[in-house]
Amino acid sequence: MSQLHVFDHPLIQHKLSILRDKNTGVKEFRELVGEIAMLMCYEVTRDLPVEEVEIETPVATAKVKRLAGKKMAIVPILRAGLGMVDGMVAMIPSAKVGHIGLYRDPNTLEPVEYYCKLPPDIAERDVIVVDPMFATGGSASAACTFLKEHGCKHIKLMCIIGAPPAWEKMRKDHPDVDAYVAAMDDHLNEHGYIVPGLGDAGDRIFGTK
Ligand code: PRP
Ligand code: URA
């Protein structure tokens, strides 16, 4: 059964408090999304396998641990997920990046797909799907379904703010996918926005409103 992980690290919570503030401008918002992604990445990758190797330090021989070469992919859901990519690849430079373009139909709140470009060997990679907002869960669930259709077997979902309906949907649709969020907010409003949330993540990252 999948698990929901909520990060209560003080650095993440502090940055999130500034991100939520309606007076935070585009530049700072963008930087904070990247920084939070970087901090969350640190925890999301906690279970990566390591192997012991022997090296020579200037002083002696030492047995040390290195990543065991697991192949990874970061898959942002466009647009807003793009804001999290730089922070992730700063931590995992060897990761490939795939893109899935989805937007929510404003009337039905259902995800509509408009773009997809994935690494050719995506089926062999451990995938971390990134998107700042996890509201109805429609976009995240559709992205995971799509990745599974491409053969992916190990998927994690990393979002900044979630809401209960999203987790309900994800655990039902994808009981094999763990979700990681910096906060679980209270509810959705009548337009499907997370309350209190941070507003429209894509518009705030790209300055389109
Ligand atoms: C936002 C957000 C998620 C989605 C979350 O994207 O980035 O992808 O909504 O909502 P859901 O959980 O109800 O699916 P949006 O559709 O606004 O597109 P954008 O990123 O292009 O602005
Ligand atoms: N998408 C957003 O950008 N914000 C929300 O609160 C919900 C979905």
pLDDT in tens, 32-44: 999 999 999 999 9
Q: How far is the CA of 168 from the centre of ligand 2 (A)?
A: 17
Q: Which pLDDT band, with edges at 50, 70 and 90, does 58 fall under?
A: very high
Q: Kindly give, in sequence order, each residue whose CB lies less than 8 Å from that of residue 110, ignoring residues fewer than 6 positions away.
A: 104, 138
Distance, CA of 205 to chain centre: 15
Percent of the chain with pLDDT over 90: 95
Question: Which atom of ligand 2 is closest in space to residue 201's alpha carbon?
Answer: 3
Give pLDDT, residue 1: 86
In contact, 29 and 79? CB cutoff 8 Å = no
Give pLDDT, residue 167: 98
Give pLDDT, residue 34: 98
Phi/psi at 200 (5° precision): -85, 110
Q: Which-ligand-closest: CA of 110?
A: 1
In contact, 154 and 122? CB cutoff 8 Å = no
Strands (E) in the chain, as ranges, are: 4-6, 50-56, 61-67, 72-78, 96-97, 99-104, 111-117, 126-130, 133-134, 155-158, 161-162, 178-181, 183-184, 187-188, 194-195
Q: Which pLDDT band, with edges at 50, 70 and 90, does 143 fall under?
A: very high
In contact, 198 and 19? CB cutoff 8 Å = yes
CA distance 180 to 200: 20
pLDDT of residue 69 exceeding 90: no
**Residue nearest atom 7 of ligand 2, based on CA coordinates:** 193
Ligand 2 pocket check for 19: Cβ under 6 Å: no
Q: What is the pTM of this model?
A: 0.96
CA-nearest of 66, 64, 68 to 126 is 68
Q: Mean pLDDT, to the nearest integer, of 113-130?
A: 97
Give pLDDT, residue 111: 92
Q: Mean pLDDT, to the nearest integer, of 161-175?
A: 98
In contact, 36 and 91? CB cutoff 8 Å = no
pLDDT of residue 195 exceeding 90: yes
Average model confidence (pLDDT) across the chain: 96
Ligand 1 pocket check for 165: Cβ under 6 Å: no
**Residue nearest atom 21 of ligand 1, based on CA coordinates:** 79
Give pLDDT, residue 72: 97
Q: Mean pLDDT, to the nearest integer, of 156-165?
A: 98
Distance, CA of 44 to chain centre: 9
